[in-house]
Every structure is written in C-alpha cells, then in structure tokens.
C-alpha cells in the first residue's frame, strides 16, 4: 500500500528541487560572470579551509608528522588565497589548463579517425570533423579562457534548466 504522506512529500520535494535547479540554471545563463566568480570563491574557501585544517592537524597531531601533509596544507591555503583574492587569475589558469586538455583530446580524436579510415571504418569522416571541432575549441579555450569559462557556465545553466523542468514534470506526475 502506498503511504500518501510519503507520496505527497516526494511529489513536493521533486517539484521544489526542480524549481531550485531551474532558477539556478537561469542565474547561470543570465549572469555567467557572476556565477563563475561565485563558484571560484566557493572553491577558494574550500581550499583555504582544507589547507588550514591540514596545517593545524600537522602541528597538533602526536607521533609521526608526514611533511607532505604540511606541504599540502600550505598549497591549499595559497590556492585558497589566490582563488579568493585573484579570482580572474585562477579562472584563466583553470580554463587554460582545460583548453590544453581539450586540445590534446581533439588531436587524439583526429588520430583515431585517421586510424579508423585506414581500417575501413564507417563514419570516420564524422569522427574527424568532431576531432577538428574539439581541437579548435581547445585552442579557443586556451586563447580566450574567460570567454570559454562563461560559455561553459551557460551550458551548465541550460543543463540545469532542463534538469529542473524534468524534475518538475516528474513531481507533477507522481
């Protein structure tokens, strides 16, 4: 037998969660720079707190004290401070690294498409085209990392909107 109380809670919960996701998605879409800065600050606080805890643990723990813990704590604090006080620099660095990764992935895709052609595989041209597009996006992300960061935030926003609407529909049909 279905518990009506539980059913109403799950229905309301799904709709509420969907509305929150959709609102968050709209914020990401219409204020990508603010959203990127906010995410950067949250990550900065996380690095700062984790680093501080690691340093405190290093000095307050008894017994063997691995130097790596102290080094990781210091790195965490430094990264946290950079993310908090130089968020644009942190975003540029992260997006440039992502750009390099995407570029290398695109090159690998191009290589795979060429190998597929040599083996007589079908649709190798599609894979080649997608590899070229991936490589170009990697170059664009490296050359203009802040634009790429905003574009990624907007794409995440669109995904959140779709997910939110889906949750609302699921909640309404429960």
Is 70 exceeded by the pLDDT of residue 4? no
- Please, are residues 126 and 105 in contact by the beta-carbon 8 Å criterion? no
Average of per-residue pLDDT values in the chain: 90
* Report for 12-16, 28-32, 165-169: range of highest mean pLDDT: 28-32
Q: What is the pLDDT of residues 62-112, one digit of tens each?
A: 877 788 889 999 999 999 999 999 999 999 988 888 889 999 999 999 999
**Taking the domains of the chain in order of start, what are their residue ranges?**
8-173
Q: What is the mean pLDDT of residues 138-143?
A: 90
- Alpha-carbon gap, residue 132 to 60, rounded angstroms: 53
Is this model's pTM higher than 0.85 or not? Answer: no
DSSP of 18-81: HHHHHHHHHHHHH-HHHHHHHHHHHHHHHHHHHHHHHHHHHHH--S---HHHHHHHHHHHHHHH
Q: Which two tokens stand for residue 132?
A: 């070229």
pLDDT band at 30 (very low <50, low <70, confident <90, very high): very high
Q: Are 10 and 65 in contact (CB under 8 A)?
A: no
- Tell me the backbone φ, ψ of residue 131, rounded to 5 degrees: -65, -40
Mean pLDDT of 124-153: 91
Calculate the alpha carbon distances from 104 to 63, 79, 101, 139, 142 in Å. Answer: 45, 26, 5, 10, 12
pLDDT higher than 90, residue 12: no
41 pLDDT band (50/70/90 cuts)? very high
In angstroms, rounded to a whole number, what is the distance separating the alpha carbons of residues 171 and 174?
A: 5
Q: CA–CA separation, 149 vs 90, rounded Å?
A: 11
Alpha carbon distance 123, 105 (integer Å)? 19
Nearest-angstrom CA–CA distance, 16 and 23: 11
């Amino acid at each position: 037998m279905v518990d009506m109380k539980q059913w109403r809670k799950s229905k309301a919960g799904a709709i509420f969660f969907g509305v929150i996701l959709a609102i968050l998605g709209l914020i990401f879409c219409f204020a990508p720079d603010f959203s990127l800065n906010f995410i950067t600050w949250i990550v900065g606080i996380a690095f700062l707190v984790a680093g501080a805890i690691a340093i405190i643990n290093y000095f307050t723990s008894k017994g063997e004290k691995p130097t790596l813990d102290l080094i990781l704590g210091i790195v965490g604090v430094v990264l946290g401070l950079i993310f908090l006080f130089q968020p644009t620099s942190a975003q540029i660095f992260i997006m440039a690294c992502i750009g390099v990764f995407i570029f290398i992935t695109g090159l690998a895709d191009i290589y795979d498409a060429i190998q597929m052609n040599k083996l007589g595989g079908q649709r190798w041209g599609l894979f080649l085209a997608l590899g070229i597009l991936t490589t170009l996006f990697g170059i664009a992300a490296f050359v203009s990392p802040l634009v790429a960061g905003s574009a990624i935030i907007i794409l995440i926003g669109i995904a959140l909107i779709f997910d939110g609407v889906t949750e609302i529909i699921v909640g309404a049909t429960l």
